[in-house]
Amino acid sequence: MSTLFDPVQAGDLQLANRIVMAPLTRNRSPNAIPPDIAATYYAQRASAGLLITEATAISHQGQGYADVPGLYGTEQLDAWKRVTDAVHAEGGKIVVQLWHVGRVSHTELQPGGGKPVAPSAITAKTKTVLIKDGVPTFVETSEPRALDAAELPGIVHAYAAAARNAVETAGFDGVELHGANGYLLDQFLKDGSNKRTDDYGGAIKNRARLLLESTRAVVDAVGGGKTGIRLSPVTPANDVHDSDPQPLFTYVVQQLAPLNLAYIHIIEGATGGPREIADRPFDYEALKAAYRAAGGKAAWMVNNGYDRPLAEEAVKEGDDLVAFGKPFISNPDLVRRLREHAPLNELDKATMYGGGVKGYTDYPALG
């Protein structure tokens, strides 16, 4: 029987254990360029079986928060190469999360001060982060404009180009498409945010089209064995919802099955909140079963609110990987602490977003 600390294969990725560091936005990349201390931050956590970077924009249009990194400029790629080199020097594996925020943005962050883009011109009832007088500040998102169908091939191309740059230039072991948490691909999936009447709206197969086209383009660019995808069937994050998520996500995973992906990353319940939502029931085991029945062989990664006992149970029940989020911020040696049942450092919430070394690379390891 597998344990949390056993090695596992995820596509082309041979991982030393089944513990994954989840993507964690830290807002420490001015001009969308990861700072030098990012190499230290990720290398400190390289004992995880897999590191997934903070969400990283595939284009300037894809930016939605101040001081988050990108993958669309030479300086950004050079900075990420320093990060991947540092992680590899510690024996770790690292993939980058590919991000387009869609409507979860602000005109101050968009090219030329333009409107954010979305499947439909519906403002998200949520907030983003701007830097005001050097301080990260939460502000309401701006009103978006609906993307024209003629613009969508360009977004698909941006995903593929970012993936290719990530692997071939920046040295990542793979990529993860961010199809969750109310960002662009998720906005297209869910009928609460997608009111289109063209080939990208209405029926399930139409709403899933952009996510599937983008995933196939990334697989063509870097290979399925280096590609993962993150999905969140019922999270209310960033003001998204779907009236009937079970058949929607069943269709999505059935279509993903032939792509021979490295892993499927599932957020259970509300991101950063309850694992079960009373008015949004969802059968995650049925979802996994539908994926396997369709021939899908990717590693199955679960996420949201896991501690050691819950993670051990998940692996025992057949999940391949377990993602841990905030505990990795304050515990660079989380794998060791979990293995040894050691106490965890307390998280300093005041330093989660923005700033420098404090609350980033200065959390102590055991010993």
100 φ, ψ (degrees, to nearest 5) = -130, 120
- Specify whether the CB–CB gap between 48 and 92 falls below 8 A: yes
CA distance 321 to 309: 14
**Cα distance between residue 329 and residue 346, in whole Å:** 10
Catalytic residue among 65, 183, 353, 363: 183
Q: Residue written as tokens 């998204």?
A: 240
Contact 307, 337 (CB under 8 A): no
306: annotated active-site residue: no
Residues 6+ apart with CB under 8 A from 69: 29, 32, 33, 34, 38, 53, 54, 56, 57, 76, 79, 80
> What is the Cα–Cα distance from 56 to 177, expressed in whole angstroms?
10
Residues with catalytic annotation? 183
